[in-house]
Amino acid sequence: MKDFENHDSAPNKDLCDGFCPSNGNVEKLKEKVLEVAGLSEIFKVLGDETRTKILYLLSEQRLCVCDIAVILDMSLPAVSHHLRLLKAFRLVKYAREGKMVYYTLDDDHIINLIREAQDHFAEGR
C-alpha cells in the first residue's frame, strides 16, 4: 500500500523524533520549497564557466562559432556542444550566413543573472 500523500514521509518518520521546534512548520515549508522547484536548471547552465563566458560574449556582439573557439581557446566541437545546449534553453539563437553560423543572445534577462552574480562577488565574497 502506497502512502505517498501522507503528511509525514514514510522513510524519514523517525528523524528528529518530533522534538525539533520547527516541526509544526514542516508542512508549510514543504509547500514553500516548491517555489524554487526547477530553478536550478538555469543555474546548471550557468554553472559551466564556458557557457557563462559565451553568453557574456554574445551580450557584447554576435559571433560565429570559430570566433568563440578562438577567443576562449577551445575546440570547435566543444564550443558547438555548449551552443547546442544554450540553444535548447532558448538562451541563444543562430543565423547561417554562408559557411558561417552567427550566434546571438535570444534572452535579454539572462545577463541580469550574470550581473547579479558579479554583484555577489563585488560585495566581498
Partner DNA sequence: ATAACAATTAAACGATTGCTTAATTAATAA
Partner DNA sequence: TTATTAATTAAGCAATCGTTTAATTGTTAT
> From the list DNA, a copy of itself, none, which binds 58 (C-beta under 5 to 8 Å, kind-based)?
none
Annotate 7-41 with b (16+ C-beta within 10 A) or e (fewer). Answer: eeeeeeeeeeeeeeeeeeeeeeeeeeeeeeeeeee
The verdict on 76 binding DNA (CB under 7 A) reads yes
Nearer to a copy of itself, 2 or 116 (CB): 116
The verdict on 20 binding a copy of itself (CB under 8 A) reads yes
Q: 104 near 91, Cβ under 8 Å? A: no
What minimum distance in Å lies between the beta carbon of 70 and DNA?
9
Site for a copy of itself in 50-89 (CB under 8 A): 51-53, 56-57, 60-61, 63-64, 66-67, 69-74, 76
Strands 92-97 and 100-105: antiparallel
> From the list DNA, a copy of itself, none, which binds 84 (C-beta under 5 to 8 Å, kind-based)?
DNA
| C-alpha separations of 48 from 43, 51, 86, 111, 114 in Å | 9, 5, 11, 15, 12
Record the cell numbers describing residue 82, joined without a space: 555548449
Q: For residue 109, give the DSSP letter.
A: S
Residue showing cell 526547477: 38
Chain residues binding a copy of itself by CB under 8 A are 8-9, 11-12, 15-16, 20, 22-23, 25-26, 29-30, 32-33, 35-40, 42-44, 46-49, 51-53, 56-57, 60-61, 63-64, 66-67, 69-74, 76, 90, 100, 107, 109-110, 112-114, 116-121, 123, 125
